[in-house]
C-alpha cells in the first residue's frame, strides 16, 4: 500500500472488521449472482444496477455489475469498482489534474497500479473492447490508506 511502513507507529492497525458471508442473510448466505433458467431480460437488471442511483448517492459495484466478459469474476468486481470509483470522483468534482496527481503518487510507491491491473502478468490481454475504459487514477477509500497522517 502507498505510504505503508511496518515500523511507523502511524501505520499500526487500530482495529479490524471481519465478515462471515456464509452466514449473512443480506449477503445471500455466501451467494453470488446467477441467471435463472428461463430468465429473458437479466441484462436489464444488470444495466440498472450498473447505473445505481447517483442522484441519491447510491452506486453499486461488484462482480454482478461488471462488463459482460467479467460477470461473476473477481476481475469483474475489480473493474466494476474502478468504474464506480471514477463515477463517484466525477460526481464530487475530482478534476483531471487531481486524478493525475493521485496516479503519480501511486507510480512512485512500491505498490504501483501495474501490480494489480486486471490481466497483469496473466498472459495475453483480453480481446479488444472487452475491458471497460480505464480510469486515470486508482480510487482508494480513506479507510484503505494504511497511514493516517501520510495521505
Give the model confidence (pLDDT) of 94-137 as tens digits: 866 555 555 555 444 444 334 444 443 334 444 454 444 444 44
**Residue 50 forms part of a structural domain:** yes
Residue 8: partners with Cβ closer than 8 Å, 6 or more residues away: 147, 150
Range of the domain at 76: 9-98
Distance CA 149, CA 151 (A): 6
Based on the structure, what is the number of domains in the chain? 1
**Residue 61 forms part of a structural domain:** yes
Give the model confidence (pLDDT) of 40-86 as tens digits: 888 888 888 899 999 888 999 999 899 888 888 889 999 999 999 88
**Residue 44 forms part of a structural domain:** yes
Read off the pLDDT of each residue in 7-24 and give the average, rounded to a whole number: 84
Q: What's residue 104's pLDDT?
A: 52
Amino acid at each position: 500500500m502507498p505510504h505503508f511502513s511496518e515500523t511507523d507507529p502511524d501505520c499500526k492497525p487500530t482495529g479490524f472488521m471481519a465478515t462471515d458471508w456464509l452466514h449473512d442473510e443480506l449477503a445471500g448466505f455466501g451467494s453470488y449472482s446467477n441467471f435463472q433458467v428461463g430468465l429473458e431480460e437479466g441484462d436489464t437488471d444488470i444495466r440498472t444496477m450498473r447505473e445505481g442511483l447517483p442522484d441519491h448517492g447510491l452506486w453499486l459495484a461488484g462482480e454482478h455489475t461488471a462488463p459482460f466478459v467479467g460477470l461473476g469474476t473477481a476481475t469483474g468486481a475489480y473493474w466494476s469498482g474502478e468504474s464506480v470509483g471514477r463515477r463517484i470522483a466525477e460526481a464530487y468534482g475530482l478534476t483531471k489534474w487531481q486524478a493525475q496527481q493521485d496516479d503519480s503518487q501511486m507510480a512512485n510507491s512500491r505498490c504501483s497500479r501495474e501490480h494489480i491491473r486486471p490481466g497483469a502478468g496473466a498472459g495475453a490481454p483480453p480481446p479488444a473492447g472487452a475491458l471497460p475504459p480505464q480510469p486515470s487514477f486508482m480510487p482508494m477509500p480513506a479507510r484503505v490508506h494504511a497511514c493516517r497522517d501520510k495521505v
